[in-house]
Amino acid sequence: MKGKIILVAVTALLLAGAVLVERYGGLSSVQLLFVYLVPYLLVGYGTLKEAAEGIVKGDMFNEHFLMSLATIGALCIGFLPGAETEYPEAVFVMLFFQVGELFEGYAEGKSRESISHLMDIRPDVAHVERDGKLCDVSPDEVGIGETIVVRPGEKVPLDGKVMEGASALNTIALTGESLPRDVAAGDDIVSGCVNLTGLVRVRTTKTFGESTVSKIIRLVESADEKKSRSESFITRFARVYTPIVVCAALLLAFVPPFFAAGGFAASFSAWLHRALIFLVVSCPCALVISVPLTFFGGLGGASRKGILVKGSCYMDALAKVGTVVFDKTGTLTRGEFAVEAVHPEDFSETELLHLAAHVEHFSTHPIGEALRAAFPNEATDGCPVADVEEEAGYGIRARVAGREVCVGNSKMMDRIGVQWRGCHHVGTIIHVAVDGRYAGHIVINDRVKEDSAQAVAALKGLGVKRTVMLTGDREEVARDVAGKLGLDAYFAELLPADKVEHVERLLAARPEGRNLAFVGDGINDAPVLKRADVGIAMGGLGSDAAIEAADVVLMDDQPSKVALAIRIARRTIRIARENVWFAVGVKVGILGLAVVGLGTMWMAVFADVGVTVLAVLNAMRALRI
């Protein structure tokens, strides 16, 4: 980049010097040609070389060929009878072409930088404990189940579970969020984060090849391989368009002079001049460069917000989303059970939780974990627990401090002959009986994510006509969540195959030209993610299968990022269209002027390189979110 800037600056100085020599030097046309050839060859060597290589390879119809043909013609036109020399114009066209490529290189560098910041998450080394020693090895040499040590300031090299220590993690490279995430013993930890404060010992749960960081890097590296329909069209268009333009320029140069009143020789130079202007104007640089650059910028801008789009083709699809279908558990809700309400009978809330948590002391069921979490002193208060007996499908009974406590569903209460009471709360109702007497019940529910309601509202604000939730959960739970979030429809108690069937129906019912996006996180969501027009996976805690099947991955599990992804896609498409219409409009106008003899080479320069520079600058807006 620096070398090209110097080249452009030196050429500009030489061009200014050549103009002064032409004005005050009194040189002949041939002598002036050699003066102007110095800056022309200096700045145009690369373009001329690319054009020559294209001819040798049989791929001559490209922008380098058009630029070379037009500028060489401009250098030579002054030797025709009655024609004026255009040496400065020829050099300036080539100079401005290099300025355009300079802007393109800068813009592409900014776009790549915005995506490649994710490549910084690649860890260099892992400190693994082996034979009582700490060894520094490559992360791909660490197996599952080994213990690694991550020091403050280091990148987490592999996915795992924290065995010892506590720290705060910088997850901005993965999620786009600047707020650190705290981890302690027992918490999951993902590769690619930066350990900020404390030393932690981690038991690995995945190899490096299957770790979060490796999958993200693979997604980033392959993101530009899948072109959007707009981008592919521009590429195909340029291949057909360029030879047509060359043929049209040849016809414009040679056919009209045969019909001119003064004869072929008298008018040939004028028509050749128009043909050269036609060639310069017709160069499709603005389209070929700015449209892919716009999509690349959109991909980079999205990645900075923790949204990985697997290719620009999915930008097209995202921009047209009219229906969004959500999975419930882990997508709109946390997928973590928690105590929502405690309704005791002749006991205090604390006493009821105390008894239930002790009965569930040895349970690995999520409900047991929720009860223990609601009474964190259970493990240290010294209350004795004995005669624990789990009854599958009913609950658990145990003796707590000498009292027989039963914790379970209504069927357990019926079995032991205890009259239980219903609850107006929606969720899993856990009944408790003490010494054969009803003690109350505890409501446990999956917590709705903080931004789920905001996500649905934002989608409505973007004009998404229908929001739907599919879940395998019970009807009353699904109805409650859908009502809280303002969803248009929900379908409950579904198996994975049922979800695919419902998505098929929604696809058939969607309006013409609008797409359906499915948002999910679990293994059972993978078939639906594949079937939808756009599959969006929750990547932070989502399953590997869901991430592999999806077209878009949200790295921080926030459903509100769905609306942001759609907004970024629509803005990217809008900028690409602005570039296309602006470039085509200016070119058509100046082409018309060139054909009737009112166009100049300076107009041609603006229509080609000037438009390209403006389009590239406009494309850079896609980087800003």
| Residues annotated as part of the active site | 327
Indicate the SS3 state at residue 510: coil
Name the β-bridge partners of 538. 554
Q: How far is CA 546 from the centre of its chain?
A: 16
* Distance separating alpha carbons of residues 386 and 588, to the nearest angstrom: 88
* Distance separating alpha carbons of residues 42 and 7, to the nearest angstrom: 8
**Triad 547, 551, 552: Cα angle to 5°:** 75
* Distance separating alpha carbons of residues 398 and 100, to the nearest angstrom: 79
Copy the structure tokens of residue 168: 């705060």
Indicate the SS3 state at residue 146: coil
* Distance separating alpha carbons of residues 6 and 51, to the nearest angstrom: 23
Q: Between helices 560-595 and 285-304, what is the axis angle to 10°?
A: 170
For residue 178, what are the CA distances in angstroms to 172, 335, 390?
A: 5, 24, 45
User: In terms of residues, how long is the chain?
Assistant: 625
Burial class (CB in 10 A: 0-12, 13-18, 19+), 254: middle
* Distance separating alpha carbons of residues 410 and 422, to the nearest angstrom: 9
CB within 8 Å of 208: residues ≥ 6 apart: 139, 140, 142, 157, 158, 191, 214
Residue reference for tokens 């001819």: 55
Q: Between helices 560-595 and 452-461, what is the axis angle to 10°?
A: 30
For residue 251, what are the CA distances in angstroms to 61, 73, 314?
A: 17, 15, 42
HSE, CB side, 13 Å, CA atoms: give it for residue 161.
7
CB within 8 Å of 346: residues ≥ 6 apart: 437, 439
First CA to last CA distance, the chain: 26
Q: Answer for the pair 237, 139: CB distance below 8 angstroms, yes or no.
A: no
* Distance separating alpha carbons of residues 133 and 125, to the nearest angstrom: 16
Task: Produce one character per residue of 146-170: b if its CB has 16 or more CB atoms within 10 Å, e if not.
Answer: bbbbbeeebbbbbbbebeebebbbb
Copy the structure tokens of residue 591: 């082409």
Name the β-bridge partners of 181. 169
DSSP 377: G
